[in-house]
Amino acid sequence: MKFSWRVLVLWTLPALVIGFFFWQGAFASGPTDMTKNTASTRMTYGRFLEYLDADRVTSVDLYEGGRTAIVEAVDPELDNRVQRVRVDLPMSAPELISKLKTKGISFDAHPMRNDGAIWGLLGNLIFPIILITGLFFLFRRSSNLPGGPGQAMNFGKSKARFQMEAKTGVKFDDVAGIEEAKEELQEVVTFLKQPEKFTAVGARIPKGVLLVGPPGTGKTLLAKAIAGEAGVPFFSISGSEFVEMFVGVGASRVRDLFKKAKENAPCIIFIDEIDAVGRQRGAGIGGGNDEREQTLNQLLTEMDGFEGNTGIIIIAATNRPDVLDAALLRPGRFDRQVTVDPPDIKGRLEILQVHARNKKLDKSVSLEAIARRTPGFTGADLANLLNEAAILTARRRKEGMTLAEVDDAVDRVVAGMEGTPLVDSKSKRLIAYHEIGHALIGTLLKDHDPVQKVTLIPRGQAQGLTWFTPNEEQGLISRSQLKARITGALGGRAAEDVIFGHAEVTTGAGGDLQQLSGMARQMVTRFGMSELGPLSLESQQGEVFLGRDWTTRSEYSEAIARRIDSQVREIVEQCYDLAKRLIRENRSVTDRLVDLLIEKETIDGEEFRQILAEYTEVPEKQQYVPQL
């Protein structure tokens, strides 16, 4: 349990208050001499007078201003022994002193000690000191908490993390796979280290660099590398940290940030996820966000306003450049826009080599084969892939990472966790025909990507999976390749229809149908690959705050819409008829492959093509596929 000083103080203060009042009451009258002012018994004042008249009193000591007396008297009931007794005297007994003098009895009056006043004064001073100290300690602790009372004067202060000498632990050598972006940013480092090389020929330092790219491609990593290489003061902040619930706080933080940056120029300011504060002004239903727009206006002014900011380079990162305000993107604010795309096969290989430095790999593991197996993976995906493979290696208690762990890690990252194997039943056989249908069509079509493997091991929501891996990077996709992919996606439904009949088709093709319907519609409306001609009939630009798909505008009439639907249906029907025909023509090899898949649960692509080649001709493009 974590110790809390605040709870301790809150519990201690009431206890101190109660204890103080008890203490004050105990010492209100001041302490007295307890060695003399004691007696074993008490005696009434009337009996004391009787003893006095009978000459049985030998001495009297008066205490507390004459209100109490300790009397030594001879008690006849105790064989005339002397006994000390306590007597409470009345307030008005002036004759008592005269009577004691007349009797010749020795008496002494003890004055009251003034200790009570001293202790009372100390108590009155100590308690306020303890109380004030406790409250001061309590407020001091709470002032360090976010939103505490001590933070009231810090709302307008910048929350940027500042490093006088940026020691991020990342250099350009640690960033791989994005060589073009590195080259652009290396110039920024040179500007900061040797500005005279550029100013001598009239070049000026760029004021801002905007890193644009999908999530996980290494934008923040590049900023860390710049900070580590440049060796100049470095400010880092997220776009969301500017905007608060209080109006004017964001603009104040922008001013404070640039004030600190000017004091430490030359320096770098890195703003991550700048789209949180740099969105288009005046967009959205009911107007924009005034506080965010004020913050953006202040940022625009500080970057390129009336006053200059020489020596300050702003680096920002976002994966939503389409929502940024146009004034933010113009030269003079962000002079350069560096696109950080997912790496190609060469870039993926370099990234894998970086992340494999601290991993124990078996000699049989080929990083090039892994790079070919992972098209579309970003740097973050590849780092996660090798980490998952390392976790599997440790779980299986192996000394080094083998092909089996890498293969399972790829499946886990792409499709999800491995589920419970299917039992041998009608459902398992139907799923086997469905997956073999995908693999068979994909292998027989020349323009389709080669099969990597077919498996009946469930992963995620899928009961079975067919993996396809392209031989090369595909920047542009042809019409024949799109139709081949649609036909391959229909292979599972076609196999169910041909083998089990139209009445027995299942919902297993739901995801396939959704995917191929989108491809077919894009062929007609965006890529001009139909009888409607080379026309783009749907715009992908929508309002910033209303979502992309919801605001997709239809720039055609109802008659064109009917023709679009007709063309989409025609493309899908042609591909479906082709898929069913190929299944019927290769029924015998389909049955053999299904029996083998049920027996082994996984068939790799090379074995699949060898069996299929015994029955029919396999296109040359499908012959070579790199294996893990």
Residue-wise pLDDT for 220-231, tens only, equals 888 888 877 777
Q: pLDDT class for 33, splitting at 50, 70, 90?
A: very low
Element (H, E) at 444: helix 426-444
pLDDT at 391: 92
Most confident stretch, 307-321, 413-427, 576-590, 609-623: 576-590
> Using CA atoms, how far apart are residues 165 and 263, in angstroms rounded to an integer?
15
Is 219 labelled as part of a ligand binding site?
Answer: yes
* pTM above threshold 0.85: no
For helices 45-53 and 95-103, give the axis angle rounded to 10 degrees: 30
434 is in an annotated binding site: yes
pLDDT at 174: 77
Q: Are 270 and 225 in contact (CB under 8 A)?
A: no
393 is in an annotated binding site: no
Query: For residue 128, what pLDDT band results from cuts at 50, 70 and 90?
Result: confident
Mean pLDDT for the stretch of residues 241-265: 77
- Say if residue 98's pLDDT is above 60: yes
Q: Does 331 appear as a known binding residue?
A: no
Which of 467-473's residues contact partners 24+ apart within 8 Å by CB, and which partners? 467/605, 468/442, 469/372, 469/373, 469/375, 469/605, 469/625, 469/626, 470/375, 471/621, 471/624, 471/625, 472/345, 473/344, 473/345, 473/375
For 83, the 3-state DSSP assignment is strand
Mean pLDDT value across residues 60-71 = 76
Residue 618 tokens read as 């396999």
Lowest mean pLDDT among 33-37, 281-285, 335-339, 531-535: 33-37
Q: Report the amino acid identity of residue 104.
A: G
Distance CA 8, CA 138 (A): 10
Q: How confident is the model at residue 28 (pLDDT cuts 50, 70, 90)?
A: very low
Averaged pLDDT, 154-178: 66
Q: What is the CA radius of gyration of the chain?
A: 45
- In angstroms, what CA-CA distances link 132 with 11, 15, 119, 135, 569? 15, 15, 20, 5, 81
Query: Higher model confidence: residue 289 or residue 623?
Result: 289
214 carries a ligand binding annotation: yes
Q: Which residues are catalytic?
A: 435
426-622: CATH class: mainly alpha
Residue 50 has pLDDT above 60, yes or no: yes
Residues 6+ apart with CB under 8 A from 458: 418, 419, 420, 421, 422, 464
213 is in an annotated binding site: yes
Closest CA to 442 of 625, 258, 260: 625
Read off φ and ψ for residue 489, nearest 5 degrees: -65, -30
Burial of 93 (0-12, 13-18, 19+ CB in 10 A): middle
Q: How far apart are CA 379 and CA 222, in angstroms?
A: 12
Q: How confident is the model at residue 371 (pLDDT cuts 50, 70, 90)?
A: confident
Average pLDDT over residues 480-493: 93
Which candidate, 475, 186, 169, 175, places its Cα nearest to that of 350? 175
CATH, range 345-414: 1.10.8.60
Q: Which of 63-77, 136-150, 172-186, 425-439 has the lowest mean pLDDT?
A: 136-150
More confident residue, 593 or 64: 593
Share of residues in the chain with pLDDT > 90 (%) = 16
Q: Which amino acid is at 212?
A: V
Q: Is 438 annotated as a binding residue?
A: yes
State the pLDDT at residue 34: 41
Distance CA 407, CA 332 (A): 48
Question: Is 342 annotated to bind ligand?
Answer: no
Q: Which residue has the tokens 């030594």?
A: 72
pLDDT at 4: 52
41-112: CATH topology is 3.30.720
Topology adopted by domain 161-339? Rossmann fold (3.40.50)
Lowest mean pLDDT among 468-472, 486-490, 619-623: 619-623
Distance CA 362, CA 379 (A): 22
Write down the domain spans for the chain: 5-27+116-154, 41-112, 161-339, 345-414, 426-622
Does residue 163 register a pLDDT over 90?
no
- Please, where are the H alpha helices in 75-114? 95-103
Say whether the peptide bond before residue 343 is cis (omega within 30 degrees of 0). no
Q: What is the pLDDT of residue 220?
A: 83
Residue 362 marked ligand-binding: no
pLDDT at residue 216 in the model: 85
Q: State the Cα–Cα distance between residues 432 and 279, nearest whole angstrom.
A: 49
218 marked as binding residue: yes
